[in-house]
Amino acid sequence: MRLKDKVALITGAASGIGREAAKLFSKEGASIVVVDLSDAAGAETVAEIEAAGGKAVYVHADVSKAADAENMVRVAEETFGALHILFNNAGISHINDDDAISTEEDVWDLTFAINVRGVFLGCKYGIPALRRAGGGSIINTASFVAVLGAATPQLAYTSSKGAVLSMTRELAAIHARENIRVNALCPGPLRTELLMKYLNTEERRQRRLVHIPMGRFGEAKEIAQSALFLASDESSFTTGATFLVDGGITSAYTTPL
């Protein structure tokens, strides 16, 4: 087992990448702290893990609030004795996110509150716990758009993921000699609710697919596999990385005509 005796805290674990990572990490031996705002779906994640023989606990948390971030880390240590893996995965993409002219300030502020402050607070309270455990791995979910920008305007989301990328690099440099690794996981376009709510017609889907050399959308399970590598000791010499899992889109991306 690649995560035997480890404790992993995963935000946004009620669905998508977070849920798949929670189940996979558990299968590989980790005890899981499932963090989300969606209580029913979070409980389902826990139930699936426990049904498969794993250990998990659910914590309701708004990652943009300091008290909630502090509490989720506290629950991890009180329930399982330590924290070794922090997967700052929770994020939003607002339906009204657009260009600089059209995007309202409240959309911008909410996006940054979850996508950027949420990662900051996870690290603020998670890093001391990793220190107490003797080190560990932090994985921050960014996006391929943090590297390229997006062809379809989503300025708040793209900017927030760029912030996650730069935050990850600095944290990696600061904490490298404490045996704490920090990496940014950058998925390409995925067949998840987050993206499919925008690509809600076949024409829109095909406009995006034309840029992906593999010719398909990624699956949440595939991103979870990449997160497992970053969480495990197999990536022991990897920190500060922009870990692109994108079907080749960054090697061949152009703006559609």
Catalytic residue ranges: 157
Sequence-distant (6+) residues with CB within 8 A of 42 are: 13, 14, 34, 35, 36, 58, 60
Measured in degrees and rounded to the nearest 5, phi and psi for residue 3 equal -125, 30
182 close to 140: Cβ distance less than 8 angstroms: yes
Q: For residue 148, give the H/E element and its range.
A: helix 145-148
Measured in degrees and rounded to the nearest 5, phi and psi for residue 70 equal -65, -40
Task: Specify the 3-state DSSP secondary structure of 185.
Answer: strand
* CA dist 200 → 58, 161, 194 (Å): 32, 23, 11
CA distance 165 to 188: 14
